[in-house]
Amino acid sequence: MRKLQNTKSKLQRIFKCQAGKIGSSNLVASLEVGIWFLVLPRAAPGRSILGALCILLGAMVVFFPVPLHAKLIDVNFTQNSSPGEGGPSPGPTMSGAAILGSAGDQWNGINGSSGTGISLIYSDGTTSPVKMAFSSGGGYNVYDYGGTTPFAGAAAAALMENYLYNGGVPQTITLSGLAPNTAYDVALYNAANTSADANGRATYFTVNSNTLSSTWNGTSSTFVPGIDYVYFPAAWSDATGKLAITYTGNGSVEGDVNGFQIQPAPQLVIASLGGISNQIISFPAQKGFNYQVQYKTNLNEPAWLPLGNAVPGNGSVQIVNGLSIGANRYYRVQMSTNAPPITLLRASGTTIVNSFGQPVTLKGLNLGGWFVMEPWMCPADSGGLPDTYSIIRELDSRFGVATEQTLIRDYQSDWITTADLNNIAQAGFNCVRVPVWWGNFFSITNTASTGWRSDAFTMLDWVVTNCAARGIYVVIDMHGVVGSQSTSDDTGEQNLNAYWTSGIDQIETSFMWSQIASHYSTNDAVAGYDLINEPTGATNTVAVWTAYNGLYNTIRAVDTNHIIIMEGTFGNWDWSMLPDPSTVGWTNVVYSMHEYQYGGDLTQVEGGSDGQVDDFENHVSWNVPDYVGEWNDMGLGAACYQYSINDYNNAGISWTLWAYKASQGLIPDGWGWYDPTNWPPTPNVSTDSASTITNDWQQWETTNSFSQNATVGL
């Protein structure tokens, strides 16, 4: 038995399983035992690791974790002391991923040979509390004196082009504003030009009295540990939130630093090997996080490879199969680390905040055409059936209810998959708006309580759970109340608009919302309940306010915690359509608008976004957050979309674009962030066999027939 009692001990031994024997190698890394590796999430801002007790018992390691949350900071030193010798002054600033991070990450470009009190941003562009002081002997660009870099043309060229040198004495980088007594991952990069000490220029980096060296060889063009960078997996801040990094050369010989990355370090989770013969790994999976089993065949390889798909945390033990046992196979389990932990959201003044009181701006996409099949934007039917209701009735008539429900479930399972949620999470979005309608919850022929479907929450639970595992919130949007709130096909049944004059429809809609809110009352991944989408069929404003008030009270009777969303998407389509909530007794509410300038040119579309901001700012005294639940910039180009995003982000307005994917036109059609690259067959629901319908719908999976639309500038 091996016991780690000091939480600041560096885990510097990796264990592997070889023919039933445990061996070890002296490599700096987190702990790996048998054929499994143990890593946990990042700390929420201001939270620290309180302790980790590790006990090794045969094929089991036990850890006691404290949840952590990652905020990555990237720093690129761009100073060039000799701009006249060929290098730019300052040099270019890195963007994207290096050893840590992902595409699109922002870097702090630091132009100077020394400095103090330098504020740093996080990789997502938001302000961090961290400040930096640093010293050096000066800086060079590799192109000084006719030099070059093997990284030229590579994604990390900007990072590896400029570097600070130590000037023959140890130099220091000091970070302040970190969480006190907290472990951080630190990656430090070093490289000179190809002609500088091509036979080896060593830089020694010291953190917490631990020293690692990296010897630049003049030829490496990819990140190789010990050549281009060093990695400290557990660098600890002190009791005041400071962390010092020292860099120097070999004696009086020059040492260099190009930049660094820092983020809260992994913690450890329980994991166990279920038996060599079974070839499985099991681990407890916390709700709100995503777990990825990864492997290496050689520990010197720079990257861990994913084994299968990510596993969503569900509050119980998860099992992953398919492990390959061998002397050269190493495994680890890593939790998703780039999203804040999912906590209950609430309205606070004009801002949405999480349970830590931190502002959360929702940014994401609508999953349109999924639970509500709108034939103009999804491959619902090639025979002209106009809406979801008609498609279901036709399938019921031809194949019976059981087969119809299987076919609809197949469609839903193909249109949105975990690969789509990965696309959304990996792009940095934190929210999806999910349009639903009454037919997802009631029998198509019985909207009384006796018609409530036993599988009413199956697919909605699936998306909420899988989104939570990826750090994504879900807005449940009632696109179609019982009886329909307008004549639009997007209510699920077109040309109806009976809700406003039918007391029974209103009662059954209230019952539906009561069931939904009761079901999700303790689920933090649900951002809020959007009561009625675009209530344009109402006879007057009072009818909408009355409906909102009744549904508000219905939900509050079973759920006092979640945000309730009211739309001003009727009449003037602005804030004038809604009351000051303090006058009607509504609390913890968000007001939502939709922004479409149909047929508008660039000036009109950008003006529409400006108008949304102005309208919100003219109503700040109401103390209500704003949420543009739907918007689209009509395919006018990436810069136009970015204009709107900047407008909303700068004003603190949450938003979800319409839509994540659409089949309205081949790429680059403006209605989908993902558009089809070809035209798979769309079934004829009235004439095709059940198997043909299923097969046709399956071909519309995003991974089969769609590609990201770069003209939608997200």
Give the neighbor-by-neighbor strand order of the sheet with 280-285. 3-4, 54-56, 60-62, 271-273, 280-285, 316-321
For residue 200, the model assigns a pLDDT of 61
Name 446's Cβ contacts closer than 8 Å, sequence gap at least 6: none
For residue 341, the model assigns a pLDDT of 64
**Mean pLDDT score, 506-523:** 97
Between 233 and 659, residue with greater pLDDT: 659
pLDDT category at 640 given cuts 50, 70, 90 is very high
Q: Is it the case that residue 615 has pLDDT exceeding 50?
A: yes
Between 611 and 710, residue with greater pLDDT: 611
Least confident of 91-105, 177-191, 192-206: 192-206
Q: Is the pTM of this model over 0.85?
A: no
Neighbours of 127 (CB within 10 A): 9
For residue 39, the model assigns a pLDDT of 34
Between 469 and 270, residue with greater pLDDT: 469
**Per-residue model confidence as pLDDT tens digits over 343-372:** 899 999 999 998 767 789 999 999 999 999
For residue 269, the model assigns a pLDDT of 45
Most confident of 117-126, 258-267, 324-333, 510-519: 510-519
Q: Which helix (H) or strand (E) holds 459?
A: helix 458-468
The domain spans of the chain are: 3-68+267-335, 73-264, 358-708
Give the integer Cα–Cα distance in Å for 336 and 346: 24
Least confident of 115-119, 262-266, 496-500, 621-625: 262-266
pLDDT category at 335 given cuts 50, 70, 90 is low
**Mean pLDDT score, 17-25:** 23
Most confident of 6-20, 70-84, 181-195: 70-84
Least confident of 251-260, 285-294, 314-323, 430-439: 285-294
- Rg of the chain over Cα atoms, rounded to whole angstroms, equals 28
Q: Is it the case that residue 82 has pLDDT exceeding 50?
A: yes
For residue 15, the model assigns a pLDDT of 24
Give the integer Cα–Cα distance in Å for 136 and 220: 24
Q: Is it the case that residue 62 has pLDDT exceeding 90?
A: no
Between 598 and 241, residue with greater pLDDT: 598
Residue pair 623/631 in contact by the 8 Å Cβ criterion = no
Name 519's Cβ contacts closer than 8 Å, sequence gap at least 6: 457
pLDDT category at 45 given cuts 50, 70, 90 is very low
**Per-residue model confidence as pLDDT tens digits over 372-415:** 999 999 999 999 999 999 999 999 999 999 999 999 999 999 99
**Mean pLDDT score, 76-89:** 82
DSSP states of 372-435 as a string?
A: S--TTTS-S-SS---SHHHHHHHHHHHH-HHHHHHHHHHHHHHHS-HHHHHHHHHTT--EEEEE
For residue 312, the model assigns a pLDDT of 67
Cα–Cα nearest to 245, from 236, 228, 254:
236
Q: Which helix (H) or strand (E) holds 705?
A: helix 702-705
Q: Is 496 left (phi over 0), alpha (psi -120 to 50) or beta?
A: alpha
For residue 340, the model assigns a pLDDT of 52
Q: Is it the case that residue 336 has pLDDT exceeding 80?
A: no
Give the integer Cα–Cα distance in Å for 137 and 255: 10
Q: Is it the case that residue 55 has pLDDT exceeding 50?
A: no
Average pLDDT, the chain: 83
Q: Is it the case that residue 63 has pLDDT exceeding 90?
A: no
Neighbours of 485 (CB within 10 A): 29
* H helix and E strand count, the chain: 11, 40
Classify domain 358-708 by CATH number: 3.20.20.80
Name 34's Cβ contacts closer than 8 Å, sequence gap at least 6: 15, 16, 17, 22, 59, 273
Cα–Cα nearest to 302, from 220, 211, 194, 184:
220
Between 32 and 338, residue with greater pLDDT: 338
**In this prediction, what percent of the chain has a pLDDT beyond 70?**
82
pLDDT category at 581 given cuts 50, 70, 90 is very high
Angle between helix axes 458-468 and 401-415 (nearest 10 degrees) is 20
pLDDT category at 250 given cuts 50, 70, 90 is confident
For residue 610, the model assigns a pLDDT of 97
Least confident of 110-124, 283-297, 676-690: 283-297
Strands 654-657 and 243-248: unpaired
Classify domain 73-264 by CATH number: 2.60.120
Place of tokens 């009235």: 686
**Mean pLDDT score, 659-678:** 96
Give the integer Cα–Cα distance in Å for 164 and 190: 9
Inter-CA distances, 29 with 14, 215, 565, 709, Å: 7, 19, 47, 39
Q: Is it the case that residue 554 has pLDDT exceeding 90?
A: yes
**Mean pLDDT score, 647-666:** 96
Least confident of 199-213, 243-257, 569-583: 199-213
